[in-house]
Structure 1
Amino acid sequence: MVATPIRQKYDIKDISLAPKGKQRIEWAAREMPVLKQIQERFAQEKPFAGIRLVACCHVTTETASLAIALKLGGADAVLIASNPLSTQDDVAACLVADYDIPVYAIKGEDNETYHRHVQTALDHKPNIIIDDGSDVVATLIKERQHQIADLIGTTEETTTGIVRLAAMLKDGVLTFPAMNVNDADTKHFFDNRYGTGQSTLDGIIRATNILLAGKVVVVAGYGWCGKGVAMRARGLGSNVIVTEINPVRAIEAAMDGFRVMPMAEAATQGDIFVTVTGNKHVIRAEHFEVMKDGAMVCNSGHFDIEIDLKSLGAKASEVKEVRNFTQKYTLPNGKSIVVLGEGRLINLAAAEGHPSAVMDMSFANQALACEYLVKNKGQLKPGIYNIPTELDQEIAALKLKAMGISIDTLTDEQNEYINSWTVGT
């Protein structure tokens, strides 16, 4: 019998940062009343007793509340970073020191370390995977087929991850259920739009301290994240241009009052570029060539692939860090392009991610999706499942209650009318 290797209990920057992390986690929790109620129920019911769980997430104060909820629910949980620049090191330290949750995440970790942490997480032999971009699930399928038998299912909360899961299902390699947290109404309507909108501009401002009023901001992609960024940029006085590949979304952007054009044209006009597409090389060599001197580019979509930094680096005669999370690439013609956050998620690289009030609903969805998988173990066929409507409605009702907002309910007469075909108009 081969002995199981002893796993390092954590890999973080500095455990002495824990007291600061605890303060910040508690501050964020003040605005997360829905998840707080779920934490309290989980602590009583222990729905994850005996369940090994891996969470690949941005290690932030908000994620900490989710991790704590899962631990209180009985989960044997491990947390890794989903992005090399998104980890808040004090939060990672607190989760290890105060909550005994193994964390493998360091802000600024290189790709080799990131992939090692993915492998470490899979060494945990998870029954449930909470994923962000489907990297852990993809690695499991490609490299650890023998562990799929242990898996009850996975949850995914990003558009990119859902696209990848759909491709896995089409190719016949998704042999277990996956919960589509991203498309829950209480996730994408709020997290993607209001969370990404505010936190992206927060990251840009923290990295640069520039005035957005009067600037031309180019938003690549008009999904829910792009809508949020465009809306908030306009609110700060920017002249917003939207680029799109989807004709319906392009019409929507135009009717929302934004200029719409191809990136090749927008590249000549923009002062600040924000990619929120989930695809690769949305801004590339031919765009850099025609940009204004000093144009700024950043990403709030997926990983560091949306901006083709390899081609920019190959063109540059000099790369210089001019501020934290701000690098100036000088081109042979004397012009410069400024890259924010190394092309990674600017809202997490230079700021603190989404406000906790909006993540309250997103992580409530994650927690309840995990519980749903456990409750329905063995009953769900391989595939991608939306969050049940009743859970979505429950989260919304809890959030309204916490906000002190009441709404109407149908009368018996109205209920009969709206659900019957026999009652005439």
Structure 2
Amino acid sequence: MEAFENARLDAYFARINARFRPAEQPASLLITHLLPERPSFVRAVAAASELRAVLPKPKSISIPAQREVEKFTQCAPLSRELFTDPGSAVDFLESRAAGAPLVLLDVGGYFAPSLEAICDRFSGRVLGVVEDTENGHRRYADIEKLPCPVVSVARSPLKDPEDFLVGQSVVFSTEALMRARGDILHGRPALVLGFGKLGSSIARLLHAKGIQVTVYDIDPVRRTQALSQGFTVARDRDAALHDAGLVLCATGSVSLRNEDFPALRNGAYVATVTSSEDELGLDGLPEVYTRTPSGDHVTRYQTTGHYFYLLNGGNAVNFLHGASVGPFIFLIQAEILASIRMLAHGALGNGMHEVTPADRAAIASTWLSYFNR
């Protein structure tokens, strides 16, 4: 970003924080995609709370961004295992924020497996969690009795522009990797698994490019939505897998398991919108499949009589090209800052919560004054 763009972004977040900064600042831990534009948001979190550590998502780290963030706060390595084990989860919180009121800022439900133990055993007080993604929203919503408040911004209308543009960036990166191998989208029937906000965006752009698109979603309501929008809806998922030359996984959970891969058409490409650990059951693939590089960020999986191509190791393909959605990402980042204040007040009951429509309107109005130029 140019210097004037950084200055404008910092001014925007300063104005957001002037409205939403809590009177008494809690400690915080921030899980985030540490992309090139992200330091401004991290500084805003540090202004709204006592930021004790940033945990960058491993597959989306910009080294220059990390170096900039490390000038004013600590970064720590992130893995699912860190917070899957209650003991290691509590130990990490104690090492960073012992005795403090604490807000956990999450992307993908990392804290969910150990949340009960964290709330019960942490020497401070967990004020709550802020969750940014649909995948993470589901992880917290599936907890039968949440031990603290969880403010989810995953289904906010302010996230709609981001989700739409992420879908577009997924198609761009998929096509770029295919073209680097001398292949193109056209002539390959596409199957989109999942017809949520990301999946529907992907399906619409593929259709606009003249690609034959089939959709499958486990939710019958979404299948009817896809049908009403002119898409072919698969009645038989396995048959659809066999027919597709391109499979785009956008479910937020495991789309393809080990028994699904042999059903793929020879030469099919597989791409995802999230990490391989969330979207693909690659660990269950039979050892008879050999894995060989087949161009930049393309892996060929082959066994006797069958082969397919996996893009970016099964991780979010759009991160290969920056995953930028422009200034629209700043809408939901502002909502995360507003969520910190909600949790800091301590008035929310245990369970799932959202930012109020009035606060969202204030964020949108502020955003428009800075970026609608």
The answer to whether structure 1 residue 186 and structure 2 residue 158 are counterparts is yes
Cα distance, 1:67 vs structure 2: 0.7
Matches of 2:226 and 2:36, distance apart in 1:
33
Query: So what's the TM-score if we normalise by structure 2?
Result: 0.86
User: Does residue 147 of the first structure (1) align with residue 122 of the second (2)?
Assistant: yes
Give the total of aligned pairs: 363
In structure 2, distance between residues paired with 1:257 and 1:269: 19
**In the alignment, is residue 342 of structure 1 matched against residue 313 of structure 2?**
yes
| Aligned partner of residue 330 in structure 2, secondary structure | helix
Indicate the residue corresponding to 2:27 in structure 1.
52
Residue in 2 aligned with 1:3? none
Q: What is the deviation of 1:345? A: 1.8
Distance 1:346 1:190 in 2: 19
- Could you tell me which residue of structure 2 aligns to residue 389 of structure 1? 357
Matched-pair contact (CA < 8 Å) for 1:200–1:346? yes
* 2:198 is the counterpart of 1:225: yes
Letter in 2 for 1:367: L
Conserved 8 A contact 1:157-1:180:
yes
Aligned match for 1:380, one of 325, 348, 354: 348
Q: What amino acid sits opposite 1:123 in the alignment?
A: S
Any idea what SS the aligned residue of 2:277 has?
coil
**Mean Cα deviation higher: 148-157 or 259-268:** 148-157
Further displaced range: 357-366 or 135-144: 135-144
- Could you tell me whether the CA contact under 8 Å between 2:83 and 2:110 is conserved in 1? no
The question of whether the paired residues in 1 share the 8 Å contact of 2:6 and 2:40 is answered with yes
Residue 257 of structure 2 is aligned with which of 273, 279, 284?
A: 284
- 2:116 and 2:23 map into 1 onto residues whose CA distance is 24
Q: Among 271, 282, 291, which residue is 1:319 paired with?
A: 291
1:6 match:
none
Gaps of 5+ in 1: 1-23, 406-425
How far is 1:367 from its partner? Answer: 1.2
Give 1:112 deviation, angstroms.
Answer: 6.2
Deviation, structure 1 residue 25: 8.4
- Counterpart of 1:344, as a letter, is N
Q: Equivalent residue for 2:212?
A: 239
Q: CA deviation at 1:139?
A: 2.8
Query: Match of 2:170?
Result: 200
Following the alignment from structure 2 to structure 1, what is the Cα–Cα distance between the partners of residues 139 and 292?
35
Cα deviation, residue 145, structure 1: 2.9
What residue is the counterpart of 2:61 in the other structure?
87
Give the CA deviation at 1:26.
5.5
Query: For the structure 1 residues 389 and 369, does the alpha-carbon distance in structure 2 shift closer, same or farther, using more than 3 Å as the test?
Result: same
Change (3 A) 1:56 1:398: same
Structure-to-structure mapping, 1:16-415, within 5 angstroms: 24=1, 29=6, 36-40=11-15, 42=17, 47=22, 50-82=25-57, 84-97=58-71, 100-105=72-77, 120=92, 123-125=95-97, 127-142=102-117, 145-147=120-122, 149-168=124-143, 170=144, 172=145, 174-187=146-159, 189-192=160-163, 194-209=164-179, 210-261=183-234, 262-280=236-254, 282-301=255-274, 303-316=276-289, 318-333=290-305, 335-348=306-319, 350-374=320-344, 376-377=345-346, 379-404=347-372
Question: Offset at 1:302?
Answer: 5.2
CA shift for structure 1 position 284: 2.9
- TM-score between both structures, scaled by the size of structure 1: 0.76
Task: Using the TM superposition, give the Cα deviation of residue 238 of structure 1 relative to its aligned residue in structure 2, in angstroms.
Answer: 1.9
- Give the counterpart letter for 1:127 in structure 2: L
Q: 1:80 to 1:331 in 2, by over 3 A?
A: same
Aligned 8 A contact 2:28 2:52 in 1: yes
- By how many angstroms is 1:290 displaced? 3.0
Q: Deviations over 1:17-71 (max 9, x none)?
A: xxxxxxx5868748x85x7423245379964765211011211134322211122
SS at match of 1:314: coil
- Give me the whole-angstrom Cα distance separating, in 1, the residues matched to 2:171 and 2:4: 22
Q: In the aligned structure 1, how far is the partner of 2:165 from the partner of 2:11?
A: 19
Counterpart residue identity of residue 124, structure 1? R
The unaligned stretches of length 5 or more in structure 2 are none
Structure 1 residue 385 displacement after superposition: 0.7
- 1:212–1:237: 8 Å Cα contact kept in structure 2? no
Q: Tell me if the contact between 2:242 and 2:263 (Cα under 8 Å) persists in the aligned partners.
A: yes
Distance 1:111 1:368, change over 3 A: closer
Distance of aligned partners of 1:257 and 1:332 in 2 relative to their CA distance in 1, 3 Å threshold: same
Residue 351 of structure 1: CA displacement? 2.5
SS at 2:108 equivalent? coil
